[in-house]
Amino acid sequence: MTPSNKFMHVAGIDEAGRGPLAGPVIAAAVILDPQRPIEGLADSKLLSPARRDALAAIIKSNALAWAVGRAEVEEIDTINILQASLLAMRRAVLALRPLPDFAYVDGNRCPLLPCPTEAVIRGDSLIPAISAASILAKVARDVEMIGLDAVYPGYGLAVHKGYPTAVHLAALTALGVSPIHRRSFGPVKKCLAPVAPRVQTE
């Protein structure tokens, strides 16, 4: 990894929501304050919801800067989930004040940014700023999916957050495709496919 001590404002970037069948993909970017270290930062997937919520509040209070970006379902279906994830990351970074002069990105692809970037596999477990971003992105997306559950009841969005669980797939088959489902994803596309008429044979 590139040494970051020569940069003044180093951001960590991560996203949440690449795998779900419904809802936006949400990214976060965080510039931590070296003078206000945060204990307990880790990959958001390894933390309980209560611990994520508590850390998210601390991150927002202690970080030098933080921002959230997103790409909507329509954008995901138009440009694909990878490009939509990178777009959400870019939007998060561009909303930071101050802007970073270097950025670490979780994964193996970097968004187009106005600063040097480095992709780090498992960065959400290795780099505190990425861990912080993963927590903010996950909390923001979970809150959104809980709200969407009230708008589109029956799918169980508040529980599985749009991921393709057995409950979600069964609800999708029973209820059909909602406006927040990603039509380019296989299980959703399958529900949209016309049913071939039966051919009677003698």
Task: Please tell me the predicted confidence (pLDDT) of residue 122.
Answer: 95
Express each pLDDT in 1-26 by its tens digit. 655 568 899 999 999 999 999 999 99
Q: Could you tell me how many residues make up the chain?
A: 202
Lowest-confidence pick of 93-102, 120-129, 147-156, 188-197: 188-197
Q: Are 105 and 85 in contact (CB under 8 A)?
A: no
pTM score over 0.85: yes
* pLDDT of the residue at 115: 96
Query: How do residues 51-103 score in pLDDT, each as one tens digit?
Result: 999 999 999 999 999 999 999 999 999 999 999 999 999 999 999 999 999 99
What does the block give as tokens for 82?
């990878």
Q: What's the pLDDT score for residue 14?
A: 98
Distance CA 37, CA 101 (A): 20
Burial 61-96 (b: 16+ CB within 10 A, else e): eebbbbbbbbbebebbbeeebeebbbbbbbbbbeeb
Average pLDDT score over residue span 96-121 = 97
Supply the pLDDT for residue 174: 95
Tell me the per-residue pLDDT of 164-189, one tens digit each, with 9 for 90 and over: 999 999 999 999 999 999 999 999 99
Residue type, position 73, single letter: V
Query: In the structure encoding, which two tokens stand for residue 116, read together?
Result: 């040097």
The CATH superfamily of 10-150 is Ribonuclease H-like superfamily/Ribonuclease H (3.30.420.10)
Distances (CA, A) of 123 to 36, 50, 51, 81, 103: 21, 22, 19, 20, 12
pLDDT-above-70 percentage for the chain: 93
| Domains in the chain: boundaries | 10-150
The predicted model gives 102-110 an average pLDDT of 97
What pLDDT is recorded for position 193? 76
